[in-house]
Structure 1
Amino acid sequence: MKTASLYKDLTYQDNKPLVQPLLETDFTREIRIVFKGGQMMKEHFTPFPIVIEIVAGEIDFGTRGTIHRAVKGDLISLGGDVPHDLTALTDSIVRLTLSKPDRSERVMQVANQ
């Protein structure tokens, strides 16, 4: 058994979202992304499907020229190779589920752009 917390030891960085790997299973990588209101992750894509859960806050999730407003409790599933971006409208916590072949380092690079 492995455990992690989406709420423990939260840090809101002033200059960019904070990407923190939380848990690795046999088939997924679970990542927490902590945004201050106004922070964003520029358009990017992953070669693998992902699932995003809005744990707290409010996010504008852009894909294919459309912005989807996502709030606490919302889930978004996205196929691989689909360009997307995220903008936090308020302080927000996002849980990102990656496929096992994907890497958390890739997500960290996107947040650092």
Structure 2
Amino acid sequence: MNSTSFTENLDFNDTKIVTQVLLETSFSKEIRILFKKGQVMKEHNAPFPIIVHILEGEIAFGVEGKIHDLKKGAILTLEGNIPHDLTAKADSIVRLTLSKQDTADRVKDVVAES
């Protein structure tokens, strides 16, 4: 058994989005993404399906040109290879579930290029 918290030991950064793999299982990677209000993760796509869960805050989640306002508690799934982007409307904690076949480094690269 592994255990951790998505809401403890938060280290928001005023100049960049913060990502951290908190858990890795036999089938997924659980990543915490910390956004300060106004930070943007530019349009990108994941090669496999993802799950996005807003644990705190509010995110404008763009999918193929349409914006979805996601507030605390919202959760969504997105199939692979669908272009999407995220903009923090408030300081936010986002849980991203990736397929085990996907890489956390890909997420870090998207953040670095945003």
One-letter amino acid of the structure 1 residue matched with residue 66 of structure 2: T
Q: Which residue of 2 aligns with 1:75?
A: 75
Q: Deviations over 1:55-92 (max 9, x none)?
A: 00000000111000000000010000000000000000
1:45-84 alignment runs, 5 A limit: 45-84=45-84
Matched, 1:94 2:91: no
TM-score (normalised: structure 2): 0.98
Q: Which residue of 2 aligns with 1:16?
A: 16
Q: Using the alignment, how far apart are the partners of 1:15 and 1:5 within structure 2? A: 24
Q: Which residue of 2 aligns with 1:2?
A: 2
Q: Using the alignment, how far apart are the partners of 2:21 and 2:40 within structure 1? A: 18
Q: Using the alignment, how far apart are the partners of 1:101 and 1:37 within structure 2? A: 31
Q: Using the alignment, how far apart are the partners of 1:110 and 1:11 within structure 2? A: 19
How far residue 108 of structure 1 moved from its aligned partner, in angstroms, is 0.7
Q: Which residue of 1 aligns with 2:103?
A: 103
Q: Secondary structure at the match of 2:7?
A: coil
How far residue 4 of structure 1 moved from its aligned partner, in angstroms, is 1.2
Q: Secondary structure at the match of 1:13?
A: coil
Q: Considering only aligned residues, what root-mean-square deviation do their CA atoms show, in Å?
A: 0.5
Q: Secondary structure at the match of 1:3?
A: coil
How far residue 16 of structure 1 moved from its aligned partner, in angstroms, is 1.3
How far residue 109 of structure 1 moved from its aligned partner, in angstroms, is 0.8
- Which consecutive unaligned segments of at least 5 residues does structure 1 have? none
Q: 1:16 touches 1:40 (CA, 8 Å); kept in 2? A: no
> How many residues end up aligned between the 2 structures?
113
How far residue 15 of structure 1 moved from its aligned partner, in angstroms, is 1.1
Q: Using the alignment, how far apart are the partners of 1:17 and 1:92 within structure 2? A: 10
Percent of matched pairs sharing the same residue = 53
